[in-house]
Copies of this chain bind each other. A is one copy, B any other.
Amino acid sequence: MAKEILYVKIAKILEDQILSGTLRIGDKIPSIRSVQKIYDVSLNTVKLAFLELESKSLIESRPKSGYYVSKTSQRKFALPSVSKPEICEKESNPEDLISKVFDTLHHKNIRQFSLGVPDPGLLPIAKLNKGVIKAIRTMEDSGTAYEPVEGNLNLRRNVAKWSLVLEGKLSEDDIITTSGTMNAIFNCLMAVTKRGDTLAIESPVYFGIIQSAKAMGLNVIELPTHPITGVDIEVLRKNIHKIDVCCFISNFSNPLGSLMPEEVKKDLVELLTYHNIPLIEDDLYGNLYFGTSRPKPCKAFDEAGIVMWCGSVSKTLAPGYRVGWVAPGKYKEKILRQKLIQTISTPPLYQEVIADFMENGRYDHHLRGFRQKLHTNCLKYQRAVEEYFPENTKISQPQGGFVLWLELDNRIDTAKLYDVAVKQNICFAPGRIFTQHDQFNNCMRLNFALKWDESLESDLKRLGAIVKNVL
């Protein structure tokens, strides 16, 4: 604990210097070694402090040069509060609200800030189509036959190759393909839980995870979650005896965009390994980082096989392909059994297309451009919100992914605001759907994987005006 306090202290001193303007955008930060000497602490402590600052986007590293105050370090609006869900608080199901949001998804004239998928205009659809035509020509029986339960070999091989970069040490035999990430998570929950078990998750969190768990008769504990560093593992530690399984979006959580620092990931895996608690790691946004490198998943620190690492291309290439996967560690047999009884196998064609896309460098190429667009959009959205929304609006600082979380004035109920906005052809995801408790009623999630243009900016302006108008 002493170590933790020390690095937090040092980070705080530097943060104050940045926010007060002592250190300005583009300024070089003292080197790790000089900070070590100044405060007479270990190298590791300084590294942790820098990690903290980096994860808050206050500083950025430049290869072979050191750390600099980042461009995104100056912000007018505050960060959203750290969530404080009361454990065992009374629950209520926001299912009707979720249905309402889904009902407007396919209205073409409504601005879809609510979706959790990228605008098709940002996706390499023509290249994917070429891949489809190639695949039906090269695959045995054009992909019309059942494939082995574990899924397409080429895809498993390419996902495994990818994971090597993350030091995931996986082989094709460690991967099972699924119908998207939600299906991977559903499989994992079905495989390792029984009715009455308790699942620990972030708060706020993607509603699909809560809905899935509830449908299986699981109890759900929502943990306090920091908008920058993610779930509070100290609270998890205190409640560990109550918990049977965890599911966390470790990299760029949905909806907060938080990134669990590497040290925390290590601690988390250690904690769960000690208690033999499986971790379902939802890493579907991991490739959409704004920093210098792809953050490692918890799976990279998993020696005991307790982490079920889930991914997909639903957020990066084609949601409708429903191509995902899981590296299920020691739960492999159970997951295979689930897949078999739920659907026998997954369609081979799209898996082959994605495998080929990965293999030939096209995925990497697409991701490079896509990440840049998303980061730019993120900054533009933040600026637009700062310009058009009330001053007391709090706004998240995602380190990747493509959703922004806004915390509005306490008096605002975004579930009601939703109806007003939809009448003006704008829709967003109301905060209430991301929790089982009566909270986040004044929050909303915005999708920024849309094409930035005047009409988009004007819609953000109109949304800001709607909020102001309600106050």
Tell me whether A322 is interfacial, beta carbon within 8 Å: yes
Q: Using Cβ atoms and an 8 Å threshold, which residues of chain B touch A120?
A: 141, 144-145
Determine if B145 and A341 form an interchain contact, defined as CB atoms under 8 angstroms apart: no
Q: Could you tell me which residues of chain A, from 259 to 285, have a CB within 8 Å of some CB in chain B?
A: none
Please, which residues of chain B bring their CB within 8 A of the CB of A125?
141-142, 144
Q: Considering residues A132, A144, A190, which has the most beta carbons from chain B within 10 angstroms of its beta carbon?
A: A144
Given the known interface contacts A186-B342, A195-B195, the answer about A318 and B128 at a Cβ–Cβ threshold of 8 Å is no
* Residue pair B186, A343 in contact (C-beta under 8 Å): yes
| Docked-complex contact B340 and A144, CB < 8 angstroms | no
Beta-carbon nearest neighbor of A322 in chain B: B347
Q: Write out the residue numbers on chain B whose beta carbons fall within 8 Å of the beta carbon of A211.
A: 337, 340-341
Pairwise interchain contact B145-A136, C-beta atoms closer than 8 A: no
What chain B residues lie within 8 Å of A141 (beta carbons)? 120, 123, 125, 320
Contact with B along A321-337 (1 / 0, CB 8 A): 11000000000000001
A240 CA to B128 CA in the complex, in Å? Answer: 53
B129/A142 in contact, CB under 8 A = yes
Interface centre among A106, A145, A190, A350 (most CB of B within 10 A): A145
A338 CB contacts on chain B under 8 angstroms? 215
Is A183 within 8 A of B343, CB to CB?
yes
Binds B, one of A69-77, A146-154, A168-176, A221-229: A146-154
B320 touches A208 (CB 8 A): no
Q: How large is the interface on A (under 10, 10 to 19, 20 to 34, 35 or more residues)?
A: 35 or more
Least Cβ–Cβ distance between A341 and chain B, in angstroms: 4
CB of A429, distance to nearest CB on chain B (Å): 14
CB of A343 within 8 A of CB of B320, answer no
Q: How many copies does the complex hold?
A: 2
Find out whether the CB atom of A343 lies under 8 angstroms from the CB atom of B215: no
Contact call A341/B144, Cβ cutoff below 8 A: no
A255 on interface, CB distance cutoff 8 Å: no
A344 to B211 alpha-carbon distance, docked (Å): 11
| Distance to closest chain B CB from A320 (angstroms) | 5
Cα distance, A291 to B80, chains bound together (Å): 68
Give chain A interface residues in 369-404, CB to chain B under 8 Å.
none
Q: What residues of B have a CB within 8 angstroms of the CB of A102 in the complex? A: 149, 340
Q: Which residues of B contact A188 (CB under 8 A)?
A: none
Contact B132 A144 (CB under 8 A): no
Q: How far is the CA of A345 from the CA of B145 in the complex (A)?
A: 21
Q: How far apart are A196's CB and chain B's nearest CB, in angstroms?
A: 10
Q: Report A65-101 CB contacts with B as 1/0, cut-off 8 Å.
A: 0000000000000000000000000000001000000
Q: Does A287 contact B (CB under 8 A)?
A: no
User: Assuming A125-B141, A141-B120, is B343 touching A182 (CB within 8 A)?
Assistant: yes
Residue interface mask A410-449, B partner, CB < 8 A = 1 = 0000000000000000000000000000000000000000
Complex CA distance for A190 and B342, rounded to whole angstroms: 10
Task: Give the distance in Å from the alpha carbon of A338 to the alpha carbon of B129 in the complex.
Answer: 30
In the complex, the answer to whether A342 meets B142 with C-beta atoms within 8 Å is no
Q: Does A105 contact B (CB under 8 A)?
A: yes
Q: Does A349 contact B (CB under 8 A)?
A: yes
27 CB < 8 A contacts A-B: A95-B337, A106-B148, A117-B146, A120-B145, A123-B141, A128-B142, A128-B144, A129-B142, A132-B136, A133-B133, A133-B136, A145-B318, A145-B319, A146-B319, A179-B179, A179-B346, A180-B344, A183-B344, A186-B343, A195-B217, A212-B341, A212-B342, A320-B348, A321-B347, A322-B345, A322-B347, A347-B347
Interchain residue pairs A-B with the least CB separation, the first 9: A144-B318, A120-B141, A183-B343, A212-B341, A179-B343, A146-B319, A144-B320, A322-B347, A129-B136
